[in-house]
Amino acid sequence: MSPGAGDDEGDLTRKQRREQARGERKALEQAEAARAKRRARLTQLGIVVAIVVVVIVGIAIASGGGGGKKTVSVGSHESNATVAEVKTLIDGIPQSGNTLGDPNAPVTLRYFGDLECPICKEFTLEVLPTLIPKYVRTGKLKIEYHSLETATREPEIFKTQQVAAYAAGKQNLGWYFIETFYHEQGEEDSGYVNEKYLQGIASQVPGLNLADWTDARSEPTYSNEVAADAQAANQAGFTGTPSFELGKTGGTLEKFEPGTFTEAGPYEAAIEKQLKS
């Protein structure tokens, strides 16, 4: 081995070492840069998550806990307005049990509802004020109210509230109770329906004898009626409220799906069709 060759080998080794060291340094720098980038990303993720949590908690607090029991303050401005509105709508229209309208009206609309159902409230407050003066008051249509449990969580509470309405029907004031209940319906699932609430509704029904109403509530006739309604709804294939059947009085009523619970148009069209047939 010549000394020159040994120098070359030594130079190469030094060069290789230098390159190796440079490579390692570069790798370390890259690894450090990658770690710094990961840290930065994690920090950004943490900031985003923190902002989202703060905003969502804010929304949850602002929108309330979902409680808020509602009780009727008889004699309050709200109560007086409801009584006046209901009276204007149905006063003077014949009532029998859970039926509103002339018993001999040519067309019957069967309305399956749950007194706690907010969509039933919409239908009652937005569609019925058109249908009742136009068809019920004029003797062309009668509306039967039937019970189907949907929005009410507790079956016992459902039975109690529906029976309370039917018991008012014993004095031919059931629709006053139903209308008043929907007008003053509380926040869904807040557990607002209790004895005080039902008494409050009943006390706003003009002319209702509260003692007779209380006695009637314990009659099995009405709880049986609620059970029969559930069976009828099941047979008709109804799963939601409000649900309807429509047809000629005394004939077979057909399932009626209006497609809307806020517009009276489809109801009017269907009733007109029945009246003309």
Partner 1 sequence: MSSSALRKTMIVLTAVGLCLAAYLTYVHYSGVTPPCSIKGNPCSEVQKSQYSLLIGIPVALIGLLGYIAILGSLLLAPDGERARLATMALILGGFGFSLYLTYRELFTLHKICEWCVSSAVIMTVLACLSVWRFLRGGDLLPVDAATGAATPGADEAPEPAAPLGAARS
Question: Rule CB under 8 A: is residue 154 a binding residue for partner 1?
Answer: no
Q: Tell me how far apart the alpha carbons of residues 276 and 39 are, in angstroms, rounded to a whole number.
A: 76
When the beta carbons of 44 and 71 are compared against partner 1, the nearer one is 44
When the beta carbons of 14 and 38 are compared against partner 1, the nearer one is 38
When the beta carbons of 149 and 225 are compared against partner 1, the nearer one is 149
Q: Tokens standing for 121? A: 């409230």
Question: Rule CB under 8 A: is residue 219 a binding residue for partner 1?
Answer: no
Considering only the stretches 12-20, 47-55, 97-105, 156-164, report the one whose residues sit in contact with partner 1 under the rule CB under 8 A: 47-55
Question: Rule CB under 8 A: is residue 262 a binding residue for partner 1?
Answer: yes
Which of 56, 84, 210, 227 binds partner 1 (CB under 8 A)? It is: 56
Question: Rule CB under 8 A: is residue 246 a binding residue for partner 1?
Answer: no
When the beta carbons of 55 and 84 are compared against partner 1, the nearer one is 55
Considering only the stretches 88-96, 104-112, 149-157, 214-222, report the one whose residues sit in contact with partner 1 under the rule CB under 8 A: 149-157
CB of 168 to partner 1, least distance (A): 25
Task: Considering only residues 165 through 194, tell me which ones interact with partner 1, judged by CB under 8 A.
Answer: 187-189
> Residues in the site for partner 1, rule: CB under 8 A?
29-30, 33-34, 37-38, 41-42, 44-45, 48-49, 51-53, 55-56, 59-60, 63, 65-66, 117-119, 122, 149-151, 153, 187-189, 239-241, 259-263
